[in-house]
Structures are given as C-alpha cells and as structure tokens.
Amino acid sequence: MISKNRRQLLLATAASTLAPWSNAQNIYPNKTIRYVVPVAAGGGADMIGRATCERLTKVLGQSIIIENVSGGGGAIACQNVAKSNPDGYTLLQAYVATHGTSPATRKLNYDALKDFTPVGMIGTAPNVLCVNPGVPANDVKTFVEYVRKQPGKIAYGSAGAGSLTHLVGELFKQQTGLFMIHIPYRGVAPANVDLISGQTQALFPSLAGALPHIRSGRMRPLAVTGPKRHELLKDVPTFEELGYKGFDGQQWYGIVGPAGMPQSIVKTLSEALAQVLAQQDFKDKLSSEAVALMPLSPDAFAAYMKADIERWTKLARDRKIELDS
C-alpha cells in the first residue's frame, strides 16, 4: 500500500513532468498559420499580404502559408474564414471591398462585423480623380464646369458596380450635382484602358494602380481622397482642401480572424503586426503600392470598419445602389 506522503510525491513528480509539455501546447503560435488573401495571386493586395506575412513569420517564429481565395468580390474567402476554428490559425486579409463597400451594397452570406475578430490595420491608399489628357481641365473646378456644360455626354469608368471606384464617383456626382454616365468594367485594368484611349473621360482608381499611367502622362490627376496630400503626388490637392466633404474614404487593408478568437491570441497577433509596421523596410516596400502604414489597435480597427460600412451604406441608399450578391 502506498503511503500518503509517497502518493503526494508521485503526483507532484508527474505534474512537473507534464507541465512543460502542457505549457508548450498552450503557447501561440505552435503550428503553421493559414493567411487567406481574398484576391488572385499577383496583384497589389496579394503583394501586401506576402510582404506582411514574410515579416510576421519572423516576429512570431512560426511559418505562415498564404492561400489566395478569389471570387465573389472576396465573399468566398470571407465565408471560408468566418466558418473556421477561431484558434488564431486561420486569418483573413480584410480590405475595403470585403469589409466596406460590399456590405454596403450587397446582401452577403457573412456579417462583416459580427463574424470576425479584428486584429489590426495594415495601411491605406487614396483614390484619385483622373481624367484623360484630352479633357480640357487641369483642376477639379474646371472639370466640374466642363462636365456641367455637357450633361450626359461625359462618362466615368469603374472597376465594377459597387466597387470603391464606383462609390467615390457617385459621391463626387452627389456633391457636385453633375450628370455623368457610369460605365462599370470587370476590374480596373479595362477601365484604365478605356480612360487612356478616351472612351471614357474620368476614373477614380486607387493611386497604386493609376501611378504608372500618371507618371507616363496618360492620365491627369486632379484630386485625391484621404485626410492629407499623398507624398507621391504632393502637387495634387485632396478633395477636402477643395471644399468637398466626406472624401476621407480610402483603399485599406487589415487583418481579421473568425469571431470568438481568444483575447490572448489577438493580443499576440496585434503586437506582432505592430512590430512589422514599425520596420522601415516594410514601409518602403508598401510605398511602392502607394500604401501608407496605419497602425490601429483591434478596437480602433473595429471602429474604423464599422464607420466605413456606415459611410458607404448611407451613400448607397442615397444613390439607390443595391446590387445582387
């Protein structure tokens, strides 16, 4: 028969032996993380995801595998992640379409706020009002006068109905009272082609996509969205400077996980992301996509997404924009 003291000694020894193994299982992360990017490989958003994960891997000391899940304007990727285990091993690169414009204009099979846990913002990039060089306007005031003189004859393109490029154009029309024809394309690339060729006269693309064409002289920039002038276009004013309100909406990118992620894991990821955003080489890398880093805490990022959805939802209602999912 084992004495009471002997039994206590055996239990203590077993506990001390199991403790390191048990603690190791609780350390996050201790296995590969899956990072879902809701667009096809090769574009700007994909580059941002890869650059972010490359550095997060080093900070977290764990490998991260990027999975590109395109389709449905990001809805397929969102549904995939929303249904995943909220253990921190499946993350989504949210952006303005998945958690901003699409929830404002479409009925989706996910709730952009309730179905996700915010981790943090990566950065933002402005949209820019560009016109074909043949348009006789070098500033917004002259462009407005030009359009007003020929209502219904001036067209602006977009990357698709309900896209940010569409909604910024509608916001511009709302504030100026202009009548411009909207021509939606399947992506911004064909919209760029038709603007450059003169088939359309205006476009509100992201600065990243427009920059090569601006530098080559094939597009003329008149104003940018956002709270301040962009360092890559210092001579181009913001809409706010020109007296237009509500043009602080921008392209943005951030990280979320499924709803219900433990706060300890969110804290680990948020702090790791903050370390990445503090790296100068990362800032330099994203500047090539005209993305300005914007560190936000999980709570601040949640508030940002909520405000962005509310902004575009109001505009969509005012302009009667309601699209099929």
pLDDT-above-90 percentage for the chain:
86
Domain boundaries, the chain: 32-125+251-318, 128-224
8 Å CB contact between 89 and 31: yes
Overall average pLDDT of the 262-285 stretch: 97
For the chain, give the number of residues: 325
Measure the CA–CA gap between 216 and 314, rounded to whole angstroms.
37
| pLDDT tens per residue, range 234-258 | 999 999 999 999 998 899 999 999 9
pTM of the complete model? 0.89
8 Å CB contact between 71 and 79: no
| pLDDT tens per residue, range 49-87 | 999 999 999 999 999 999 999 998 899 999 999 999 999
On the question of pLDDT at 21 being above 50, the answer is no
> For residue 13, what pLDDT band results from cuts at 50, 70 and 90?
very low
The correct CATH number of 128-224 out of 3.40.190.10, 3.90.45.10, 3.90.1150.10, 2.40.128.20 is 3.40.190.10
Measure the CA–CA gap between 191 and 284, rounded to whole angstroms.
28
Mean pLDDT of the chain: 92
Determine the pLDDT at residue 306.
98
29 preceded by a cis bond (ω within 30 of 0): yes
Measure the CA–CA gap between 153 and 220, rounded to whole angstroms.
19
Decide whether 32-125+251-318 matches 128-224 in CATH topology.
yes
On the question of pLDDT at 20 being above 50, the answer is no
Overall average pLDDT of the 284-295 stretch: 92
Q: What is the CATH number of domain 32-125+251-318?
A: 3.40.190.150
